[in-house]
Structure 1
């Protein structure tokens, strides 16, 4: 089904694979009549060409990328624009689309959701952007329909910013990276490795895009095979997939932890652009005659079976056949893993859902950027036709990804078919994906064609004794118990008037006279100081889960309403993972606040007197005029999942100066730390030299950052003196170092008024 190469591979004429090795050049010569160096062949990937066209550094090893377009949604664009405004924003320099699909229900927190929407509309007018009102489209579907273009690059403040199937290299990052683009700065990365995804065969009936995606995720997540790399989809199997099918696979590449994705294009993608009235945006993309990939994933589409990702990660995959054949063992394994993920905070059992040898579920959801596509919903309608979901606990909700899709489902009768079953059709909304819509009952089990099934993401609140869990499945499997009937092929017609009559588009023309709408929840970022010469950190949380998601660092769901209020949102930091974190972070932050007010920190944090006494034995020069105080957390591998910058900024506004990790799960989380002026320390895997609540001292930390020290010595401070240990910072660009030294991206860019 899915095979991973042990090394690199050559692709000849887009069709034939030659494994890298001693005999590779001879095989290449026999096929092409010439030899080609690995360096030259790397330039023949689709990804290389797109990156080269967007690189401004002149050095393809160290890229400085400028994107063509930007996109955000209503729990990210307020913070982004506020940061850019503090740095002197006067106009959006490139098209920037503000889509409202996360807080679109306006259901929590009084007026604050709609206040954010009006903030977005007035900013689109003032700075020259595009505003997509609530219920019109989820962020990624609007981007597919109206923004994507062959050979283009789009940056979005949502981790599932993936439009590779349409020939667009798209990346999801934290808000500060969009701020840089708004300020005419660049996205700086080393040239990423490119991994080929070589598709052959044709999917069997009943197999959908989520099945293929889960099969790939299950094969590559744990081993980091594509981490921070570009996945390039090629091979003869691509032609056997419709545009919608490719899109459904592509959006899930985020769950592999890859950097981005790109696909070869053909007439099916040309037709997609034609249907949407944007024929000029199509571009034929294909690798060159001899392309070299740093890794290769071979997928035989004909062997992919219906899949399921069991709680609590998209990589926890099985075929549905495996699940049914080994139900008791698999459920026991999920419960065992859950004990770690949930810290045994609540009783959790799945085996009690087995009745007469069959596993019963409580809810079905087909939704969002992954499941809400036209073909997925049409297929579900065909499978459901003539059935009834019943009048008991089970519910089924279907969310088309955009209003044009919804309109076509009404016109072709699929919406009526679904409604006749007792299922519910709802407007475009991302809530089921991040815990703000269709939250299951306590102990309920939900099957969803959406993107993620992390702990807490479906609405669980462990500290309140609430738990539910999600499994990911394709829409076809959600709709089917046993089905052997036809699945039709429906022609899609895009109604452009829906957007023309409702979406505000400035066409890039800014109107400085427009007054921005500020609701009472919209707050400015608090003042943040520069990195001091020396640093005292208290460890205020210690997390030993194999992976820590951004949902655990700052919960999703109802907290999303507070993302326009930095200090208000920070109260939720780690609230479902380590409820003691906020109080401890605030306590040590008092010392830093005292320093900034010209006071002695010992007066607000008396225990620091003994800590400073121990430090002064070895470092007598450490004093209030050259020291800083704050907090840090340790996590084994933090940052999997969402691009949300708040996973870092919430720690920062509570006084966080650093994270200490064995590794970072994603580039975007590490970038968020850096952009908020936090030190992304790495410590070798093994016995930690410190424990929770310990104090750490980093003498000369500012100098170490300035001078690009390969290793940094820190000290655990206790009554027995100072015990040294070593950390590193990993690779940092010169700009990233300056951001850390200044204290955050806002300080780095601030325009004094």
Structure 2
């Protein structure tokens, strides 16, 4: 039995079914998505949440203007009133903070963030999903997921000096691409596992998301116990691993000893090559941090590399510790002083630059980052080029001002991890003992969550946009400080729709009519779990998306808000549609139930067939105009 099967068995999940029914042990949400989660719970009339839930404030702590502070006040009140733990701003990035304080081997964590798979570094099954799925679970409903294939990643050997877990996952991305993990859980096993620290394992699981994977898992072992002891949590340790006879749907073998330092070139995490082949490219900015590489080990190695030297005068180096505990640890070890002394800039313990919240690079420049995504414009500057690498490569490159192979630095400095990292338990606010006494404050920017509409019997709409492969959620609705401040205000977000792929789409939107269609290529909606990339276009009239394939979380978000996701039966039909074509579907609800939908292209005077690959439950959600409508009917019936 593999590890995924063992965790499912311990949670009474029948893995023989096509759709798995999951009741997670924990839920994670953050300020980028939690406002809509709690607004959805309010709309359903839910008073208390279950299971154990932590609301992290980490995505937009920049607080330019009143909008984000208002969201944080609202979230603090709702957490206290509804029974969730509130992690205050400055505690750190949700995935790093959760790993240090709450992740337990063998548990299942559901999070409203695509990088929830980070939990797999400690042997916990982390599942990222959209906010409405989170709201349903907090209301006591199960989480439904398509049974994934399990890809076994067999690790052998030992990493050479200057090669890290970040290089392992970049190498894997180069092997299988940003689409290679779709519909799968990546399960790491083999003798090479014991050579990787928990921080390295967490880095690998975090970026496994970029392969499109549902999740990623490492076994828990003596390394896991040491990590938990470091954070005063050794009582949470349990040993979890696959059987030696475990069966996998596919097997990939990686010899760690053969790997080299890697870098991802613009503008995709799978556009990788060895650092030595990119050496010499000038970088105006280097950012060390994010939920991928912000642990004590990452920051300490960077500090020892730059100690006694100066950051190159043409390069800015920023440091974003992953948590308050990590910041305290590098302060105590002297590494913070080493970083500051070399000329680095210390930022808050938050997501920050990774999601375009500050530190946007100058126009037309290169930025080298330890982050997980380098999509065009994600850094906050549309014409900048983002490269991804390890903390080691970033630190060495900061001294030279160009991408530099860290092996040129010499013998790696010896980093001794602290036995215990100081705790700040009072900065996790427990739910109120008397919830009825809590008055929740809702600022003027916080608006109601829009609801979808049922598919029309005979549907006619034009193709508002035709897009290519690997369209990201950032392409649909960008991140960054401006958009994050509007996460609780869908109407105000509409002008930003598809701005990165068509700057004049806002003007075009007025001419599309009440409903419109998007046609896309393969892997449509890759990237963030943010449901706003569905809520906002749905509010603006998006009714149907027809593609070659969908990214997992975005597909679920479309269904949850009643937007119909269809797949071309013959992918060649994609080439025969143009933006502006008028498409018609007769007996639309009936055809959706049948699974095969005949679409008439009125402009081209031809038919083509699209497939509804939703199961019966998902189709029922669509026919109700989305999950909020369906659940409202359920709760209204229960009250009667």
Superposition pairs for residues 69-468 of structure 1, below 5 Å? 69-107=26-64, 110-162=65-117, 163-221=119-177, 224-324=179-279, 358-390=280-312, 392-461=313-382, 467-468=383-384
Please give the secondary structure, in 1, of the residue aligned with 2:409: coil
1:55–1:64 Cα contact (<8 Å) kept: no
Equivalent residue, structure 1, for 2:611: 728
1:569 Cα deviation (Å)? 1.4
Question: What do the CA deviations read for 1:28-53 (whole angstroms, capped 9, x no partner)?
Answer: xxxxxxxxxxxxxxxx0010111233
Distance 1:429 1:709 in 2: 47
Match status 1:653 vs 2:609: no
Distance 2:42 2:263 in 1: 44
- Assess, with a 3 A threshold, how the Cα gap between structure 1 residues 510 and 99 changes in structure 2: closer, same or farther: farther
Superposition pairs for residues 481-496 of structure 1, below 5 Å? 481=404, 482-495=408-421
Distance 2:298 2:82 in 1: 37
- Assess, with a 3 A threshold, how the Cα gap between structure 1 residues 56 and 50 changes in structure 2: closer, same or farther: closer
Question: What do the CA deviations read for 1:617-666 (whole angstroms, capped 9, x no partner)?
Answer: xxxxxxxxxxxxx11111112111111111111111011111110111x2
Question: What do the CA deviations read for 1:476-517 (whole angstroms, capped 9, x no partner)?
Answer: 01111531144222222545542x22221228x671332221
- Farther-moved stretch of structure 1 (295-304 vs 509-518): 509-518
Distance 1:268 1:174 in 2: 32
Which of 368, 383, 390 is the matching residue for 1:474? Answer: 390
Distance 1:457 1:116 in 2: 23
1:737 Cα deviation (Å)? 1.4
- Farther-moved stretch of structure 1 (245-254 vs 469-478): 245-254
2:261–2:275 Cα contact (<8 Å) kept: yes
1:191 Cα deviation (Å)? 2.2
Please give the secondary structure, in 2, of the residue aligned with 1:712: strand
Equivalent residue, structure 1, for 2:401: none
Distance 1:567 1:57 in 2: 41
- Farther-moved stretch of structure 1 (643-652 vs 401-410): 643-652
Match status 1:556 vs 2:511: no
Equivalent residue, structure 2, for 1:18: none
- Assess, with a 3 A threshold, how the Cα gap between structure 1 residues 55 and 564 changes in structure 2: closer, same or farther: farther
- Farther-moved stretch of structure 1 (529-538 vs 234-243): 529-538
Which of 426, 450, 453 is the matching residue for 1:501? Answer: 426
- Assess, with a 3 A threshold, how the Cα gap between structure 1 residues 148 and 287 changes in structure 2: closer, same or farther: same
- Farther-moved stretch of structure 1 (571-580 vs 300-309): 571-580
Equivalent residue, structure 2, for 1:574: 498
Which of 621, 626, 631 is the matching residue for 1:749? Answer: 631
Distance 1:194 1:497 in 2: 36
2:205–2:215 Cα contact (<8 Å) kept: no
Question: What do the CA deviations read for 1:111-158 (whole angstroms, capped 9, x no partner)?
Answer: 000000011100111100011111111010111012211110001111
Please give the secondary structure, in 2, of the residue aligned with 1:298: strand
- Assess, with a 3 A threshold, how the Cα gap between structure 1 residues 510 and 681 changes in structure 2: closer, same or farther: farther
- Farther-moved stretch of structure 1 (189-198 vs 673-682): 189-198
- Farther-moved stretch of structure 1 (577-586 vs 89-98): 577-586
1:582 Cα deviation (Å)? 3.5
Distance 1:299 1:161 in 2: 24
- Assess, with a 3 A threshold, how the Cα gap between structure 1 residues 510 and 660 changes in structure 2: closer, same or farther: farther
Equivalent residue, structure 2, for 1:536: 460
Equivalent residue, structure 1, for 2:591: 704
Distance 2:253 2:453 in 1: 50
Please give the secondary structure, in 1, of the residue aligned with 2:369: strand
- Assess, with a 3 A threshold, how the Cα gap between structure 1 residues 296 and 547 changes in structure 2: closer, same or farther: same
Superposition pairs for residues 713-724 of structure 1, below 5 Å? 713-718=598-603, 723-724=606-607
Distance 1:586 1:654 in 2: 9
1:383–1:485 Cα contact (<8 Å) kept: no
1:456 Cα deviation (Å)? 1.0
Please give the secondary structure, in 1, of the residue aligned with 2:110: strand
Which of 544, 547, 555 is the matching residue for 2:470? Answer: 547
Q: What number of residue pairs does the alignment pair up?
A: 620
Match status 1:520 vs 2:444: yes
1:686 Cα deviation (Å)? 1.7
Question: What do the CA deviations read for 1:198-220 (whole angstroms, capped 9, x no partner)?
Answer: 11111111112211110111111
Please give the secondary structure, in 1, of the residue aligned with 2:506: helix
Distance 2:539 2:293 in 1: 36
- Farther-moved stretch of structure 1 (202-211 vs 46-55): 46-55
Distance 1:477 1:59 in 2: 44
**Which ranges in structure 1 are unaligned for 5 or more consecutive residues?**
1-43, 325-357, 462-466, 591-629
Distance 1:308 1:511 in 2: 50
Over aligned residue pairs, what C-alpha RMSD do you find? Answer: 1.8
Please give the secondary structure, in 2, of the residue aligned with 1:181: helix
- Farther-moved stretch of structure 1 (404-413 vs 81-90): 81-90
Question: What do the CA deviations read for 1:306-365 (whole angstroms, capped 9, x no partner)?
Answer: 1110000110000012334xxxxxxxxxxxxxxxxxxxxxxxxxxxxxxxxx32111111
1:589–1:654 Cα contact (<8 Å) kept: no
Match status 1:639 vs 2:565: no
Match status 1:674 vs 2:590: no
1:56 Cα deviation (Å)? 5.2
Distance 1:96 1:661 in 2: 35
Please give the secondary structure, in 2, of the residue aligned with 1:446: strand
Equivalent residue, structure 2, for 1:40: none
1:579 Cα deviation (Å)? 2.8
Please give the secondary structure, in 1, of the residue aligned with 2:556: helix
1:127–1:510 Cα contact (<8 Å) kept: no
Please give the secondary structure, in 1, of the residue aligned with 2:133: helix
Please give the secondary structure, in 2, of the residue aligned with 1:747: helix
- Assess, with a 3 A threshold, how the Cα gap between structure 1 residues 548 and 527 changes in structure 2: closer, same or farther: closer
Question: What do the CA deviations read for 1:3-48 (whole angstroms, capped 9, x no partner)?
Answer: xxxxxxxxxxxxxxxxxxxxxxxxxxxxxxxxxxxxxxxxx00101
Q: Normalization by structure 2: what TM-score?
A: 0.94
- Assess, with a 3 A threshold, how the Cα gap between structure 1 residues 147 and 203 changes in structure 2: closer, same or farther: same
Distance 2:631 2:314 in 1: 54
Please give the secondary structure, in 2, of the residue aligned with 1:713: strand
